[in-house]
A and B are shown apart, each in its own frame.
Chain A
Amino acid sequence: MLDYILKRILQLIPALLLVSVASFSIIYFAPGDPAETLLTGPDGDVDPKSVEEFRTKMGLDKPLHIQYLIWLNNVLHGDLGYSYRTEKPVFDHIITSFGATFKLAVVSLVISLVISIPLGIISAIKHNSALDISCMVGASLGVSMPNFWLGLLLMLLFGIYLDWLPVAGYGTGGDIEHIILPALTLGTGSAAVTARLMRSSMLEVLGQDYIMTARTKGVSEWVVIGKHALKNALIPFVTMVGLNFGYLLNGSVVVETIFGWPGIGRLIVDSINMRDYMMVQGCMVFIVLLFVTVNLLVDISYRYLDPRIRYERA
């Protein structure tokens, strides 16, 4: 088990190095000179002297590979630089934004799982019934529906027509009123993905011989499903959560933008639009590390949960 973890981490390192080079070069692929862009006044004038000062201050005058190494060193010490726009540390911005995204992600995840897991299980039990088919149709729709469209529709319905909920915003630190629409948007989208997975997992389990064995013992159907089937069908649960996480993270980019939620998704979009490439770079580094770590944890716990894999067959 431990060697598997080590092996995976070692495998990741070259990939992460590539990622770091890619992230670092964001600044260089950006159109225009960052210093000039930021310091260009409203009338389009730029003072060459202040540009020079800025470049020195930001370390933009050194050779590329040195800049990379300096940058990498900084990153490994938690220093993600300073925002071009606000001149405050990127790291602080990211932490605050991520806090908001995290709140949203948790609520969305709960909504997603509460909907998808029971629906997936029931669909599998009542295979090919009207319920099953309508759930699968719903899931297909959910997966195909653009989340920005769904968000706007929900906003239209609950925020404008019914006027039950505020249309956008963060409220006081993300209160229920403000979190519910974006969370519903994200949650139903990822529920569509999870419901299908849960259903196929359950279907596969229900077709297994050991389910028949349980029945030969005279065990009631409830116990067959609740004990014998579910224990096996939920093994991919952690994988499902991990997949949800990816979906939620990606979805946050659009959903946070629509609902004015100050999370990391919106941060990256705004930063790109405002050419704050230092921020963009910092966000990317953070997101990648987060994403990779979560995926690794999901992979490890999946192996741990399945007793067949845990005990490394001879």
Chain B
Amino acid sequence: MSLLEIIDLKTHFPTPNGFVKAVDTIDLRIAKKETFGLIGETGCCKSVLGHSIIRLIQSDAVMKGKIIYKEKNLLEISEAEMRNIRGEEIAMILQNPTTSLNPVIKVGEQIAEAIRLHQHLNKKDAKQKAIEMLDAVRIPSPSQRSDEYPHEFSGGMKQRVMIAMGLACDPALVIADEPTKGLDVTIKIQIVELMKEITAQKAMLLITHDLGVAAEMCDRIALMYAGELVEYASVIEIFENPLHPYTRGFLDSLPGRGLVPIPGMSPSLIDYPDGCRFHHRCSHVMEICKHNHPGMTEMKDGHFVRCFHA
């Protein structure tokens, strides 16, 4: 039984030029303790999906579909109920730790706040637990550092703090948005190791554009393009047997495989092309691709792709 099931999700933002369809029909399932990677080019779609799950989207956005978590549709529950879920059941670790930490509140307090709120501990106990969390993310001298401000931490340290904050209340599902973006290679490796260890018993949706990190951490991987998923399968399948031309292109653009970029540009999120949304950039484009929009089909056991060519 999956922990999280997203059915037919659409998140559209109204703009003067039309609706920005950042999430345009997404179906996916995440099982308990599974790490699910969401890969795509740097843009806004992936993060929007993450924000949609946790329902932190701007108020004028239109969300349709279902997000089933523990038998509840998250899109239908009240804001108060949703607030209980945030942090406690589903935690999101936002991008960019430098701007995502409040500069005028001590680090320990930022972690303890969530603990007090969801686990109803008193101030002293919460603070102690926060220190334990800092220790769990391998920050040296945690009790001293918990009284410091974010700007006193390095980039890698700040990322650890973000992780500590997210995991403080022992959520069942963690959404990690680009946790290794902008970090040095050595730090990246450390963070990946840490995250693997610390989320072993949890479900995680890992949003990243870094395939290397995804390969290390994920059980399954999905590729997102133009607001929809174009392929998903186990991590091994994706790397050994990529079916969608976009996936292949993405893999080819890795340093280890030749750094070949995918030609063309991502489509506008307001006016998607007719037919297959990737057809303008596809080297295997066929007549049918220009007019018909392919559905998601299961090619092998557990390996799904949205392509006429496969």
The 0/1 profile, CB within 8 Å of A marked 1, for residues 104-126 of chain B is 11000010011001100000000
CB contact between B113 and one of A208, A219, A311 (< 8 Å): that residue: A219
Question: Could you tell me the distance in whole angstroms from the C-beta of B67 to the nearest C-beta in chain A?
Answer: 16
Determine if B151 and A313 form an interchain contact, defined as CB atoms under 8 angstroms apart.
yes
Contacting pair B84 A308 (CB below 8 A): no
Q: Point out the residues of chain B lying under 8 angstroms from A313, CB to CB.
A: 151
Of the candidates B54, B95, B117, B149, the one whose C-beta lies within 8 Å of that of A219 is B117
* A308 in complex: contacting residue of B103, B117, B165, CB < 8 Å: B103
User: How distant is B48 from chain A, measured CB to nearest CB, in Å?
Assistant: 13
Q: What does the 1/0 interface line of A116-132 toward B look like (CB < 8 Å)?
A: 00000000000000000
Among A209, A219, A227, A311, the residue within 8 A (CB) of B94 is A209
Most chain B Cβ neighbours within 10 Å, of A210, A215, A307: A210
Residues of the B chain whose Cβ atoms lie less than 8 Å from the Cβ of A209: 94-96, 99-100
**Which residues 99-158 of A sit at the B interface, judged by CB distance below 8 A?**
none
A313 to B150, CA, bound (A): 12
Interface residues of B in 79-96 (CB under 8 A from A): 82-88, 91-92, 94-96
Q: When chains A and B are docked, how far (Å) is the Cα of A227 from the Cα of B117? A: 14
Chain B nearest CB, measured from A66 CB (Å): 55
Q: Does A289 contact B (CB under 8 A)?
A: no
The answer to whether A232 and B114 touch (CB under 8 A), given A209-B99, A216-B91, A307-B151, is no
Contacts of A235 in B (CB 8 A): 104
Q: Mark A216-244, 1 if CB is under 8 A from B, else 0.
A: 11111000000110011001000000000
Contact indicator B102/A210 (Cβ below 8 Å): yes
Are A217 and B113 CB-contacts (below 8 A) given A209-B94, A212-B94? yes
Q: Name the distance in Å between A146's Cβ and chain B's nearest Cβ.
A: 39
A217 touches B102 (CB 8 A): no
Q: Give Cα A312 to B149, complex, Å.
A: 13
Q: Kindly report which residue of chain B lies nearest to residue A309, judged by CB atoms.
A: B151
- Are A210 and B99 within 8 A (Cβ)? yes
Chain B neighbourhood of A232, CB < 8 A: 102-104
Does A72 touch B at the CB level, under 8 Å?
A: no
Contact B151 A218 (CB under 8 A): no
* Alpha-carbon distance A232/B151, docked complex (angstroms): 14
Shortest C-beta distance, A215 to chain B (Å), equals 5
Instruction: Give the CA-CA distance A52 to B3 in the complex, in Å.
Output: 101
Contacts of A228 in B (CB 8 A): 102, 105
Contact of A216 among B92, B104, B118, B149 (CB under 8 A): B92
| Chain A nearest Cβ from B158, distance in angstroms | 11
Q: Which residues of A contact B83 (CB under 8 A)?
A: 218-220
**Contacts across chains A and B counted by CB atoms under 8 Å:** 78
Q: Are A216 and B99 in contact (CB under 8 A)?
A: no
- Contact of B101 with A by CB under 8 A: yes
Q: Could you tell me if A213 and B56 are in contact, using CB atoms closer than 8 angstroms?
A: no
Q: Is A214 an interface residue (CB 8 A)?
A: yes
Interface size counted on chain A using CB atoms at 8 A:
22
Residue of A208, A212, A218 contacting most chain B CB atoms (<10 Å)? A218
CB interface residues, A 258-291, toward B, < 8 Å: none
Instruction: Tell me the residues in window 169-221 of chain B with beta carbons closer than 8 Å to chain A beta carbons.
Output: none
What residues of chain A lie closer than 8 Å to B104, measured between beta carbons?
Answer: 231-232, 235, 306-307
When distances are taken between beta carbons in the complex, the residues of chain B under 8 Å from A212 are 56, 94, 100
> For residue A306, which residues in chain B have a CB less than 8 angstroms away from its CB?
104
In the complex, what distance in Å separates the CA atom of A212 from the CA atom of B92?
Answer: 10
For A313, give the chain B residue with the smallest CB separation: B151
Whether B152 sits at the interface, judged by CB under 8 Å, is yes
- Taking the closest CB of chain A, its distance from the CB of B127, in whole angstroms, is 16
Question: Interface code A184-218, partner B: CB below 8 Å = 1, 0 otherwise?
Answer: 00000000000000000000000011101111111
A210 to B56, CA, bound (A): 13
Instruction: Say yes or no: A218 contacts B152, CB within 8 Å.
Output: no
State whether B151 touches A311 (Cβ < 8 A).
yes
Residues of B at the A interface (CB closer than 8 Å) are 54, 56, 82-88, 91-92, 94-96, 99-105, 110, 113-114, 117-118, 149, 151-152, 162, 165-166
Q: Residues of A at under 8 Å CB distance from B?
A: 208-210, 212-220, 227-228, 231-232, 235, 306-308, 311, 313
29 contacts between A and B (CB under 8 A): A209-B96, A209-B99, A210-B102, A213-B101, A214-B102, A214-B113, A215-B56, A215-B86, A216-B86, A216-B91, A217-B86, A217-B87, A217-B113, A218-B85, A218-B86, A218-B88, A218-B117, A219-B87, A219-B114, A219-B117, A228-B102, A228-B105, A231-B102, A231-B104, A306-B104, A308-B103, A308-B149, A311-B151, A313-B151
**In the A-B complex, the 10 residue pairs with the closest CB atoms:** A218-B86, A218-B87, A209-B99, A217-B87, A217-B114, A210-B102, A209-B100, A216-B92, A218-B83, A213-B100
Q: A212-B56, A216-B54 are in contact. List 6 more A-B contacts (CB 8 A).
A: A210-B100, A215-B56, A216-B56, A218-B83, A231-B104, A307-B151
